[in-house]
Amino acid sequence: MIPIILASGSKNRQTILKSINVPFQTIVSNFNEKNVREKNLSIRAKKLARLKGEAVYKNNRGIIISADTFTGCQGKVLEKPNDRTEAINMLNFLSDKQAINYTGFYYYDPDKNIKVSKTFQTKIRFRRFYESEIKDYINKFPVTSWAGAYAASELYVMGMIATVSGSLTGLTHGLPLEELIPLLRLSGFYPKP
């Protein structure tokens, strides 16, 4: 059986793959995301995930899983902040607003000729944040490593979110398990029901 390759360095994506007990290796794509200039955020997420996966597949044989995640709010795209000041500005901007988490997803199994490329959208309603908690949060967490300066997998952040509608694991871990598990079954990694 060919190996599963996670084309991402994301610790959250690695954690969720480990949680479902599938063997995988991690190979980080060196694809430059800045080259993709797509105004439609759903298409942009899907395209980024696919291009990252294809970049890894060029030199590696296996089942490729890749993803890309960012947040959109009121016409703005919130990716990883460059520094703590930008993170504070992002969190102040998200306070008491609804945003959409876009998770582009790509799955390619060359042996079974399975190729899936799509975007999962998760609507998030953030409660109002207090200045003191933003400062506390910025001091406790690696906010510059997360799109939108938040990681919904952290319990602290879960308390900042009022409601969620859409792919839960797409939001929390950047990988939609509701899509991935059936694909892994088709590839022979789980017994069929």
Catalytic site positions:
68
CB atoms under 10 Å from CB of 54, counted, come to 17
Q: Which amino acid is at 182?
A: P
Rounded-to-integer distance, Cα 71 and Cα 95, Å: 13
**Cα–Cα distances in angstroms (integers) from residue 84 to residues 9, 17, 95, 99, 145, in the given order:** 21, 29, 16, 21, 10
CB 104 within 8 A of CB 49: yes
Check: CB of residue 122 under 8 Å from CB of residue 58. no
Which position has the token pair 């992002």?
Answer: 90
Separation CA 8–CA 12 (nearest Å): 10
Assigned token pair, 20: 């479902």
